[in-house]
Chain A
């Protein structure tokens, strides 16, 4: 499979470059790879040297490898710096019909543009660097259709968490998923990226949405978007990128948008989610390793089967990541907390997905709104999503996070993660407990 765009970051690329050098190979098409350090960069004082030695070394290695091989780098403090899956789309690098890979499972994000985009391992990063190609078995086809109108206060993140709660974290394994239906089409590009980003959390290698006018309007005029006659030619091609009426899928699911509530997870995988006003399920009907796994998960979270979720204390709030670190997410959070105050018991980390998101948040006045409500905007990076930098949730603490994984220890050893939308995170940020954002916003 030929790869049109290859994105790299500091964590999964150094061993690939090392392998390449051991074989005496050069990067085959350096112009088709773009790099940014995101996973372990600090989210404050980015103008200073990275304090942590190993992180600093990885970031320096990325810089060195890019210089050596002629790869464009959007390094720290570069105006285009940010999370790899945020900068690709906002620079117009991500375009419909492309094949895009990155040594990161959330590469599925780019599928929102009708691109074939998926995460790869480091050996495969080396393959792309060496040949611009990888060997892949053909995936099965799945279509998930969400029709109808979303209720107020229900966001793209809630669609994603709802789907995963219904089909499980392995329901999509072996498949690429097309997300379709009127509820999906009604989403902005930011929302579509959130849905496709979470494809991997149901096990699917990638997810995609047929490009339409919303897609074209987003791409047009961006840095790397085609211009002039090239644009017309590209547009004509992009308009052909949709499933045929009679297309047959290996697996199909249909959901009704009206059934989706603001979602929150209560366990240690993204499939363990439910409506925020619901209770944690009981282990009734489970047996063997299913029961064992469920009980282990709740024990880690410090929850009991049947517990009501509303009112449970929240210590940390994390807004950011490649799932929900785009400008629309910061707008939703800021609008919600406007005129309210952060709960004193809550530590909040609001982390933009990129420099450009940070800049937009300043220009739009979101920073003032956040600061008036007791919040501070940090600097871009993956941050507490995977706690490779200093943004770690302490052991035993509860963090409501707009990121993508609630695995044991994901946000720091012993940290307890509750995945939710930026709105539900905002509701917790101002109350200090799990709360229904619709009630507080008066929807």
Chain B
């Protein structure tokens, strides 16, 4: 799937200080029936965002105009649960390009990386600092530099480095996905198949 190249992002952030945000909250199963990849952002956090009559719930952060930006900040164990890639699609489609947490579930992290959504892991202390910064000033901006692998609280200059697989970093910086690479290996793959028979 094609996605935008990622290099540097400077943006305010949306706080979601809840732990174990699971994929059923990110996008409930009843919205997985599309056969194309579009429009999932409308149903991002559907049941937290809208009431039973499809009216926005005023106490949910995405419905609060104070909070904007392309960075979503979640509590630990973000993305646990199902393998549905629709979770990453929904977050990306809504307009986020970065998700920050102190801990991500494995499949979600892979899915995010395969779709141009950068998962940034910071320490629990730094995560708290980010939440505190947004609480004090919802317009506070953060800088994400993929090349340098740093996440910076711009107002204070406090910065944290984050890990990323070098191959996935290359893919994100260049907007590439794995499929072209794998398809280029077909001959090698066929040789492997013959050898193991």
On A, residues with C-beta under 8 Å from B are 2, 11-12, 14-15, 18-19, 23, 25, 28, 39-40, 54-55, 57-58, 61, 103-105, 107, 119-124, 126-127, 130-135, 137, 139, 169-170, 173-174, 200, 203, 205, 269, 288-290, 292-293, 296, 386-388, 395, 405, 407-410, 413-414
Q: Could you list some 25 contacts between A and B, CB below 8 A?
A: A19-B1, A58-B33, A105-B81, A121-B88, A121-B111, A127-B179, A131-B183, A132-B193, A134-B182, A135-B167, A135-B182, A139-B106, A173-B103, A173-B105, A200-B107, A203-B105, A290-B19, A292-B17, A293-B75, A388-B33, A405-B24, A409-B24, A409-B47, A410-B24, A413-B28
User: For the complex, would chain A's binding face be called helix, strand, loop or mixed by DSSP majority?
Assistant: loop
- Among A55, A131, A409, A414, point to the contact of B179 (Cβ < 8 A): A131
Contact with A along B124-159 (1 / 0, CB 8 A): 000010000000000000000000000000000000
- State whether A407 touches B179 (Cβ < 8 A): no
- State whether B75 touches A413 (Cβ < 8 A): no
Flag whether B178 is at the interface (Cβ < 8 A).
Answer: yes
Contact with A along B83-106 (1 / 0, CB 8 A): 111101000000000000001111
Q: How far is the CB of A274 from chain B (nearest CB, A)?
A: 17
Q: How far is the CB of B158 from chain A (nearest CB, A)?
A: 20
**A173 with B115, Cβ < 8 A, contacts A127-B178, A293-B20 known:** no
Extra contacts, 7 of them, besides A19-B1, A54-B33, A131-B185 (Cβ < 8 A), are A15-B85, A61-B35, A131-B179, A131-B182, A203-B80, A293-B75, A386-B24
Kindly report which residue of chain B lies nearest to residue A272, judged by CB atoms.
B20
- State whether B189 touches A12 (Cβ < 8 A): no
Q: How far is the CB of B64 from chain A (nearest CB, A)?
A: 17
- State whether B183 touches A25 (Cβ < 8 A): yes
- Among B80, B110, B189, point to the contact of A124 (Cβ < 8 A): B110
Cα separation A204 to B177 with both chains bound (whole Å): 25
- Chain B residues whose C-beta falls within 8 Å of the C-beta of A409 in the assembled complex: 24-25, 28, 47
- Chain B residues whose C-beta falls within 8 Å of the C-beta of A25 in the assembled complex: 183
**A123 with B178, Cβ < 8 A, contacts A105-B83, A289-B75 known:** yes
- State whether A293 touches B28 (Cβ < 8 A): no
- Chain B residues whose C-beta falls within 8 Å of the C-beta of A124 in the assembled complex: 110, 114
- State whether B179 touches A203 (Cβ < 8 A): no
Q: How far is the CB of A231 from chain B (nearest CB, A)?
A: 17
- State whether A408 touches B24 (Cβ < 8 A): yes
Listed residue (A14, A135, A414) with the most chain B CB atoms within 10 angstroms of its CB: A135
Cα separation A104 to B32 with both chains bound (whole Å): 13
Kindly report which residue of chain B lies nearest to residue A28, judged by CB atoms.
B186
- Chain A residues whose C-beta falls within 8 Å of the C-beta of B82 in the assembled complex: 104-105, 119, 386, 405
- State whether A169 touches B80 (Cβ < 8 A): yes
- State whether B52 touches A387 (Cβ < 8 A): no
Cα separation A103 to B84 with both chains bound (whole Å): 7
Cα separation A289 to B177 with both chains bound (whole Å): 35
- Chain B residues whose C-beta falls within 8 Å of the C-beta of A107 in the assembled complex: 83
Cα separation A203 to B82 with both chains bound (whole Å): 10
Q: How far is the CB of B48 from chain A (nearest CB, A)?
A: 8
- The interface on chain B, measured as residues whose beta carbon lies within 8 A of the other chain's beta carbons, has a size of 53
- Chain A residues whose C-beta falls within 8 Å of the C-beta of B17 in the assembled complex: 289, 292
Kindly report which residue of chain B lies nearest to residue A269, judged by CB atoms.
B20
- Chain B residues whose C-beta falls within 8 Å of the C-beta of A15 in the assembled complex: 35-37, 85
Q: How far is the CB of B111 from chain A (nearest CB, A)?
A: 4
- State whether B18 touches A293 (Cβ < 8 A): yes
Nearest 10 CB-CB pairings of A with B: A121-B85, A54-B33, A119-B83, A121-B111, A14-B35, A131-B182, A123-B114, A122-B85, A105-B83, A407-B24
Q: How far is the CB of B183 from chain A (nearest CB, A)?
A: 5
- Chain B residues whose C-beta falls within 8 Å of the C-beta of A174 in the assembled complex: 106
- Chain B residues whose C-beta falls within 8 Å of the C-beta of A293 in the assembled complex: 18-20, 75
Cα separation A395 to B25 with both chains bound (whole Å): 16
Q: How far is the CB of B41 from chain A (nearest CB, A)?
A: 15
- Chain B residues whose C-beta falls within 8 Å of the C-beta of A127 in the assembled complex: 178-179, 182
**A173 with B106, Cβ < 8 A, contacts A293-B18, A408-B24 known:** yes
Kindly report which residue of chain A lies nearest to residue B192, judged by CB atoms.
A2
Cα separation A319 to B104 with both chains bound (whole Å): 31
Kindly report which residue of chain A lies nearest to residue B28, judged by CB atoms.
A409
**A407 with B81, Cβ < 8 A, contacts A40-B33, A293-B18, A293-B20 known:** yes
- State whether B18 touches A296 (Cβ < 8 A): yes
Q: How far is the CB of B25 from chain A (nearest CB, A)?
A: 6
Kindly report which residue of chain B lies nearest to residue A202, judged by CB atoms.
B80
**A170 with B81, Cβ < 8 A, contacts A14-B35, A130-B179 known:** no
Q: How far is the CB of A340 from chain B (nearest CB, A)?
A: 33
Q: How far is the CB of B104 from chain A (nearest CB, A)?
A: 8
Cα separation A11 to B89 with both chains bound (whole Å): 14
